[in-house]
Amino acid sequence: MIDPKVKLQRLERILEISRELTSTVSLEPLLHQIVEVAAELSGSQAASILLLDTRSGELRFRAANDDPAGQLRDIPVPVENSIAGAVLVSGKPAVVSDTRAEPRHYQVVGKRTGLETNSLLAVPLQIKDRRIGVLEAINKQAGGTFDQENVEILTTLAAQAAVAIENAQLVGALQAAYERLEELDQLKSNVIAIASHELRTPLGLILGYATLLQEQLGEAAKPQLDAVSRAALRLKYIIETMLNMRYLETGQMELSPTCFDLRAEIKEACNDYRTIAQAKELVLETDLPDVETLTQADREKMRIVLDNLISNAVKFTPSGGQVRVAMRRRDDEIELTVTDTGIGIAPQELERIFDRFYQIEDHMTRRHGGVGLGLSTVKGLVELHGGRVWAESVPGRGSRFIVILPARPPQP
């Protein structure tokens, strides 16, 4: 019978260890820590962890504190015909006081490594009903045998260890998935860069020849050549959007700030969309200061911001609706808003719409055109100007995009 005080001390030690284990999320150090503790708590010479390799169906040594050279790792242990395998399958601990008298003992390990196993205690690494491997204590110190107390304490440790191992594996898998995602993102970026550069030259030729033919043929093929030019210009716009996005992403986008009247720029941008708005029977109106609003910014880039916000508002507002572009100066900030009475945006989408290539509608069933880069370009450009942008919306009632720009942005 074991002294209750000693038992309490051991349980306290387990608790302490359990806290340590759950705070280690890196798999290799964690496994190492577990074998150290297992040997200490069971009073044995060494301990090892075997995890089930679900692909090969074999057990694999993942850590052992009597194997500094790591030779155990190369030796698979079959689930059938091994003590560890029997523990894995049954979920019950196994105590072997003399391995020579135990026919299930897998002797290949000892023969190949020279590591001698005389006595053995193996317990399952189990999470609920799922067993992921086996924890073994090897060679009870001073030639003794493992008793019930050792079995209990190692079983308790194994339960904590199994959860910690699984957590570390999940964290590792998550990390790997994240790295893969970053690689894919880089790949996507490269494809965009290559594609847009390669498309620019043939597109220039198409546009050039369309103009030349228009001059040579006069009215003869005007509607057809107009259609070719319009389509080519649309392509040019998409390519420029992709290139802008890439420059923003790689920090290569440069601003050329000048001092210009933002009010006039807004009026011009709105005028460009008047025909489309009229065709859709939309009211497109402005609410601007009475006097010019001189702004220090990159005029072309600001126009891209305006174009994207206005074209989205027009695109996502059904016939009979209203789009309102407003601007006002407040202290040292300029507030620009584009408000529509369109389809609106669900609360959970309000931030995501500024992500690259994000579109709320599935691209297979989409009713509206676009590549999903408009708002991420807007965000990138506004932030480059030292400003911020966000969206507010009541689904089904309409949306408002708010851009705040510093009246005097930081000099590049």
CB of 238 to ligand ADP, least distance (A): 9
308 contributes a contact to ligand ADP by CB under 6 A? yes
Tokens of 351: 């931030």
**Toward ligand ADP, which CB reaches closer, 77 or 248?**
248
Tokens of 35: 């074998």
CB 284 within 8 A of CB 277: yes
Of 265, 1, 287, the C-alpha closest to 148 is 1
Site for ligand ADP in 167-186 (CB under 6 A): none
CB of 307 to ligand ADP, least distance (A): 10
CB of 340 to ligand ADP, least distance (A): 5
85 contributes a contact to ligand ADP by CB under 6 A? no
Chosen residue from 399, 403, 405, 409 binding ligand ADP by CB under 6 A: 399
265 contributes a contact to ligand ADP by CB under 6 A? no
Question: Cβ neighbours of residue 299 under 8 Å, at least 6 residues apart?
Answer: 258, 260, 265
CB of 361 to ligand ADP, least distance (A): 6
- Give per-residue burial for 151-164: e unless 16+ CB within 10 Å, then b: bbbbbbbbbbbbbb
Chosen residue from 192, 306, 345, 389 binding ligand ADP by CB under 6 A: 345
316 contributes a contact to ligand ADP by CB under 6 A? yes
**Toward ligand ADP, which CB reaches closer, 199 or 407?**
199
93 contributes a contact to ligand ADP by CB under 6 A? no
370 contributes a contact to ligand ADP by CB under 6 A? yes
C-alpha to C-alpha distance for 59 and 138, rounded to whole angstroms? 17
From residue 225 to residue 264, the character string flagging contacts with ligand ADP as x (rule: CB under 6 A) and all else as - is: ----------------------------------------
339 contributes a contact to ligand ADP by CB under 6 A? no
CB of 379 to ligand ADP, least distance (A): 9
Chosen residue from 85, 93, 321, 374 binding ligand ADP by CB under 6 A: 374
Q: Residue 172 burial by CB count (10 A; 0-12/13-18/19+): exposed, middle or buried?
A: middle
CB 61 within 8 A of CB 173: no
407 contributes a contact to ligand ADP by CB under 6 A? no
**Toward ligand ADP, which CB reaches closer, 370 or 387?**
370
Of 389, 366, 368, the C-alpha closest to 378 is 389
Angle at 128 between CA 126 and CA 129, to 5 degrees: 80
Chosen residue from 64, 353, 384, 403 binding ligand ADP by CB under 6 A: 353
Residues 212/216/217/221 CA torsion (nearest 10 deg): 0
375 contributes a contact to ligand ADP by CB under 6 A? yes
By CB under 6 A, the count of residues binding ligand ADP is 21
Q: E strands along 101-214, which residues? A: 120-127, 130-140
C-alpha to C-alpha distance for 138 and 110, rounded to whole angstroms? 12
**Toward ligand ADP, which CB reaches closer, 39 or 343?**
343
Q: E strands along 128-237, which residues? A: 130-140
CB of 297 to ligand ADP, least distance (A): 20
Of 339, 352, 330, 356, the C-alpha closest to 393 is 339
C-alpha to C-alpha distance for 59 and 8, rounded to whole angstroms? 34
Question: DSSP 3-state assignment of 103?
Answer: coil
**At 23, phi and psi to the nearest 5?**
-95, 0
Chosen residue from 238, 276, 288, 371 binding ligand ADP by CB under 6 A: 371
Give me the residue label for tokens 């699984």. Answer: 166
**Toward ligand ADP, which CB reaches closer, 200 or 400?**
400
**Toward ligand ADP, which CB reaches closer, 261 or 349?**
349
**Toward ligand ADP, which CB reaches closer, 19 or 366?**
366
306 contributes a contact to ligand ADP by CB under 6 A? no
CB of 375 to ligand ADP, least distance (A): 3
> Where along the sequence are the contacts to ligand ADP (CB under 6 A)?
308, 312-313, 316, 340, 342-343, 345, 353, 358-361, 370-376, 399
